[in-house]
């Protein structure tokens, strides 16, 4: 049902923009544009979908395995296995060269397809699809809401999995097994463990958990392709006074960021509300790109989508957007700390989807 709804939204947007055909690109890292129109979650290689304003979809894949899977998982879509995907798609576009063709995200497409010497022209329609990706329907919000519930449950499992001597990858393996048992097929997850020597989070390594460690994670499961994220920090053993003082700043910053989320404000306003808390405590340096990437971001068919919550982003926050607000950064007295909640923007303000307490958890050392 969500796939049909998405396709109808795309075709309506195409007609409004005067676009006869839409080219949607995706790869194993970012497949949300492709999935929005073709309803196929690509796992390897490259995929390009050609969608007409009437709703017909052709899907070109350069992986034989992916093409075989798409035949089963994407009913109603015409699938083509195309090892030389660029030239094959180009030949197909030559047949509709006399119509207006949009492309999203155009900057990700192979240069050969966007070269001005081609017989067809691909207009940049990224903003058209971005609007659909950011402004979710009630059904899409419901999927994110279910993913947030699973994220809460998975973090409870994370608390049980962390103990001294265990390696990072063993902990993540426990979470992946838990999620598969819950019927959740996808999860983006990074973590960190240690003290003031840790400056961020990474995919799991062989490092063993030790008493006194701060253990951080971004845990991001998906339901029907829609991701929701939770960010939390725990201590192995009893938290020190320095760790608790540091963590209190993050609680204050998260609360300020969520309080700033409402229709009509800009993404930069939310980031500024978070960062001002750090500046108030003399920690403004740690809000810069040297120490942190974003203060939150959109969620949906990609785990890290638009709008990015940064002070220089002027995207207007509107109802139907689903975001993660997280003042994740380094603290000089404690190390890298994370804290973040998934939210949905409503007509009247914001609803927090994560139910896990905002506390510095302690597990047995």
Instruction: For 254-273, write each residue's pLDDT tens digit.
Output: 999 999 999 999 999 999 99
Burial of 252 (0-12, 13-18, 19+ CB in 10 A): middle
pLDDT at residue 1 is higher than 90: no
Whether residue 27 contacts residue 47, with contact meaning beta carbons closer than 8 Å, is answered with yes
pLDDT at residue 284 is higher than 90: yes
Closest CA to 359 of 252, 258, 247, 277: 247
Band of the pLDDT at 95, cuts 50, 70, 90? very high
d(CA 89, CA 112): 11
d(CA 17, CA 100): 10
Q: Tell me the mean pLDDT in the region 118-133.
A: 97
Helix or strand (DSSP H, E) at 361: strand 361-363
d(CA 344, CA 318): 10
How many beta carbons lie within 10 A of that of residue 284, not counting itself? 13
Q: Tell me the mean pLDDT in the region 48-61.
A: 97
Q: Tell me the mean pLDDT in the region 82-91.
A: 97
Rounded to 5°, angle at Cα 196 from 194 and 200: 70
Q: pLDDT value at position 78?
A: 97
Q: Tell me the mean pLDDT in the region 111-120.
A: 95
Whether residue 295 contacts residue 271, with contact meaning beta carbons closer than 8 Å, is answered with yes
pLDDT at residue 230 is higher than 90: yes
Q: pLDDT value at position 292?
A: 93
Q: Tell me the mean pLDDT in the region 173-178.
A: 98
Q: pLDDT value at position 128?
A: 98
Band of the pLDDT at 34, cuts 50, 70, 90? very high
Q: What is the mean pLDDT of the chain?
A: 97
Which residues in 82-151 belong to E strands, given as ranges? 101-104, 122-124
Residue with tokens 């989807």: 353
Q: pLDDT value at position 7?
A: 96
- Per-residue pLDDT tens over the stretch 17-30: 999 999 999 999 99
């Amino acid at each position: 049902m969500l796939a049909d709804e998405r396709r109808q939204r795309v075709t309506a947007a195409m007609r409004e923009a005067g676009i006869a055909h839409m080219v949607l690109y995706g790869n194993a890292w970012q497949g949300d544009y492709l999935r929005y129109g073709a309803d196929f979650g690509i796992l390897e290689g490259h995929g390009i979908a050609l969608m007409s304003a009437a709703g017909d979809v052709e899907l070109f894949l350069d992986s034989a395995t992916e093409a075989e899977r798409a035949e089963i998982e994407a009913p109603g879509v015409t699938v083509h296995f195309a090892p030389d995907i660029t030239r094959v798609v180009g030949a197909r576009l030559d047949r509709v060269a006399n119509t207006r063709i949009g492309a999203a995200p155009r900057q990700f497409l192979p240069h050969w397809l966007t070269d001005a010497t081609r017989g067809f022209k691909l207009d940049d329609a990224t903003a058209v699809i971005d609007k659909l990706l950011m402004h979710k329907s009630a059904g899409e919000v419901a999927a994110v809401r279910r993913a947030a519930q699973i994220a809460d449950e998975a973090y409870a499992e994370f608390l049980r999995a962390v103990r001294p001597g265990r390696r990072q990858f063993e902990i993540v393996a426990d979470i992946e097994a838990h999620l598969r048992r819950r019927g959740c097929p996808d999860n983006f997850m990074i973590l960190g463990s240690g003290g003031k020597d840790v400056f961020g989070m990474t995919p799991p390594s062989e490092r063993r958990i030790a008493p006194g460690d701060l253990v951080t994670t971004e845990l991001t499961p998906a339901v029907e392709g829609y991701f929701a994220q939770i960010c939390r920090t725990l201590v192995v053993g009893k938290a020190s006074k320095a760790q608790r003082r540091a963590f209190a700043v993050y609680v204050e910053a998260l609360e300020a960021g969520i309080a700033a989320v409402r229709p009509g404000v800009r993404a930069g306003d939310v980031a500024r509300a978070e960062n001002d808390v750090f500046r108030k405590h003399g920690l403004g340096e740690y809000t810069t790109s040297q120490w942190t990437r974003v203060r939150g971001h959109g969620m949906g068919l990609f785990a890290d989508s638009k709008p990015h919550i940064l002070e220089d982003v002027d995207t207007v926050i509107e109802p139907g957007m689903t975001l993660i607000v997280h003042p994740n950064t380094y603290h000089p007295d404690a190390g890298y700390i994370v804290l973040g909640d998934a939210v949905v923007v409503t007509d009247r303000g914001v609803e927090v989807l994560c139910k896990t307490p905002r506390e510095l958890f302690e597990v047995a050392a």
